[in-house]
Amino acid sequence: MTKEILIKVGQLYDVIVTDLSHDGLGIARIDGFLVFIKDALPNERVVARITNAKKNYAHAHAIDKIKLTDHRTCPPCSLFETCGGCQIQHMTYSSQLEFKKSIVIRNMQKFAKIEMPPVLDVIGMDDPWRYRNKTQVPFGLDENGEIVAGFYKSRSHEIIDMPSCLIQTQIADDIITEVKQIACEFEIMPYDEATHDGLLRHVVLRVGFKTGQIMVIFVTKTSDLPHKEELCQRLITNFPAIKSIAHNVNPKATNVIFGDETNTIYGKKYIIDSLDGLEFLISARSFYQINPVQTEILYKLVVDYADIGADDVVIDAYCGIGTITLFLARVAKSVYGVEIVPDAIFDALENARINGIDNANFEVGKSEVVIPRLIKEGIIPDVIVVDPPRKGCDIALLDAIIKARPTRVVYVSCDSATLARDIKILIEEGYQLEMIQPVDMFPQTSHVETVALMSRK
């Protein structure tokens, strides 16, 4: 009889947890069979119930903890065990930072083939709570037909009603509670993913930590938003910090939050926030780092690692709305930000304008296309900065970087596995890895941001 038949859903096992997965699950083996256990930490002995069994591995939940580790703490959130938002809230914060460093080291060893990677200790937060400036809350109905708003249960699309989230801002909690009450009063029906019925899909909030300005975005299935005027009036009366309310339409049967159409229904198209003295216009769909306290640290590291002189030319690939670009422009001769999203470049140009920065240039297009053209035009970069999405750099962009031969490459990454993959390619083409500095942008979760410095040999 094969092991996958022996390991069945519902069975209980007394196991010793030996490791932690990259997403914060305890790892144990049952007769050599790999089991990932929620709410279990290394060196703990737990009774685990199998919740899902595959051919080569299974998932389980720790239902009884026989021996605990000193790395464990009591999660302050009562919904931790069911919510999928925070994976490691049951770890002491110092242990979270050690765990995240170990993730980066392991990925460098596995994917970059570097036995002793130069990974520094993770820069943590003094207060690792209430740090998110963006809240995305799905709306739905519970089994009794009552409106719920919260986050998805771990590994599911079941919405957990959540009156408070300890990594979101308090005012975001309060606004979501108010919207839920308004939706109940006006009978604004939530969207149902299974049937594609209903209207209200998500409510998204953006909060300027420095300015206090708030944007509320309603995401609906159709262009109709019932009681729009009353809705706006109620929100701005109860929450004067709201400076913008937008309506996004997403008619597709998808779990992607935003659709293509966004209209401002109250106030301005933007809210304003600031980082290290620079002001940024933030629209409904702008990319803007979600932890502003750590973002200032992260961007200052980028500038420090870039080691830019007054005569240096810098290219910022994946520049978004120009946040990193403008940090770099304060010390460089000139900076060229490249981004494929036209709306982001429009915002970047506006951000340069309102900050009085005239040595930042922005271009719409793929970096792997724009960079070779800039070089042909005589713009030779001394430094290239990349901050790609989770999937890492396109191979064509890495080729463009290698051909551009900048003295230094500064790589900002939210996924150290794809970072390691790309670092390996750059090393093979003549660059050396100087250091990697992890920054804890996402406390209580298993995610970690990194800044890597590479120099040409």
What band does 332 get if pLDDT is binned at 50, 70 and 90? very high
Which one, of 334, 291, 365, 372, lies nearest residue 127 by Cα? 291
Range in 32-46, 64-78, 144-158, 396-410 the model is least confident about: 144-158
Averaged pLDDT for residues 111-126? 98
Contact of 176 with 135, CB cutoff 8 Å? yes
Task: Please give the pLDDT value at position 341.
Answer: 93
- What is the pLDDT at residue 404? 95
Determine contact, residues 437/409, Cβ cutoff 8 Å. Answer: no
Q: What is the pLDDT of residue 323?
A: 97
Structural contact between residues 243 and 236, judged by C-beta atoms closer than 8 angstroms: no
pLDDT 10s digits, 439-454 = 999 999 999 999 999 9
Confidence of residue 1 (pLDDT cuts 50, 70, 90): very low
Quick one: pLDDT band at residue 27, thresholds 50, 70, 90? very high
Share of the chain above pLDDT 70, in %: 99
Residue 440: other Cβ atoms inside 10 A: 24
Distance CA(136)–CA(263), nearest Å, equals 18
For residues 326-351, give the mean pLDDT. 97
Q: Is 77 a catalytic residue?
A: no
> What pLDDT shows up at residue 83?
85
Q: In 10 A of CB 229, how many CB atoms?
A: 10
170-186 and 228-238 helices, crossing angle to 10°:
150
Of 423 and 32, the structure prediction assigns the larger pLDDT to 423
Helix (H) or strand (E) holding 201: strand 200-207
Q: What is the pLDDT of residue 3?
A: 46
User: How much is the pLDDT for 194?
Assistant: 86
pLDDT, one tens digit per residue, over 398-442 is 999 999 999 999 999 999 999 999 999 999 999 999 999 999 999
pLDDT of residue 255: 86
> For residue 35, what are the contacts with CB-CB under 8 A and spacing of at least 6?
7, 13, 15, 27, 28, 29, 48, 50, 57, 58, 59, 60
Q: Can you spell out the DSSP letters for 151-178?
A: EEBTTS-PEEE-S--TTS-HHHHHHHHH
Rounded to 5 degrees, φ, ψ at 346 are -60, -45
Other C-beta atoms lying within 10 Å of the C-beta of residue 145: 6
Confidence check: pLDDT of 21 > 50: yes
Residue with tokens 């199998």: 50
Tell whether the model's pLDDT for residue 55 goes beyond 50.
yes
Residue 230, both tokens: 């009353």
Torsion from C-alpha of 260, 261, 266, 272, nearest 10 degrees: 30
CB-based contact 62:46 (threshold 8 Å): yes
Split at pLDDT 50, 70, 90, the class of 153 is confident
Residue 154 has a pLDDT of 75
Q: Global pTM?
A: 0.93
In three-state secondary structure terms, 86 is coil
Distances from the Cα of 181 to the Cα of 148, 173, 184, 188, angstroms: 10, 13, 5, 10
DSSP tag of 121: P
128 contacts 38 by C-beta, under 8 angstroms: no
Q: What is the residue whose two structure tokens read 């089991």?
A: 35
The model's pLDDT over 92-103, given as tens digits with 9 standing for 90+, comes to: 999 999 999 999
Predicted confidence at residue 13, as pLDDT, reads 95
Q: Any idea what the Cα angle at residue 75 is, between residues 73 and 80, rounded to 5°?
A: 140
- Model pLDDT, residue 394: 93
Q: Does the pLDDT value for residue 82 go beyond 90?
A: no
- The pLDDT tens digits for 186-234 are 999 999 988 999 999 999 999 999 999 999 999 999 999 999 999 999 9
**Where do the domains of the chain lie, and which CATH numbers do they carry?**
3-72 (2.40.50.140), 105-125+291-456 (3.40.50.150), 134-275 (2.40.50.1070)
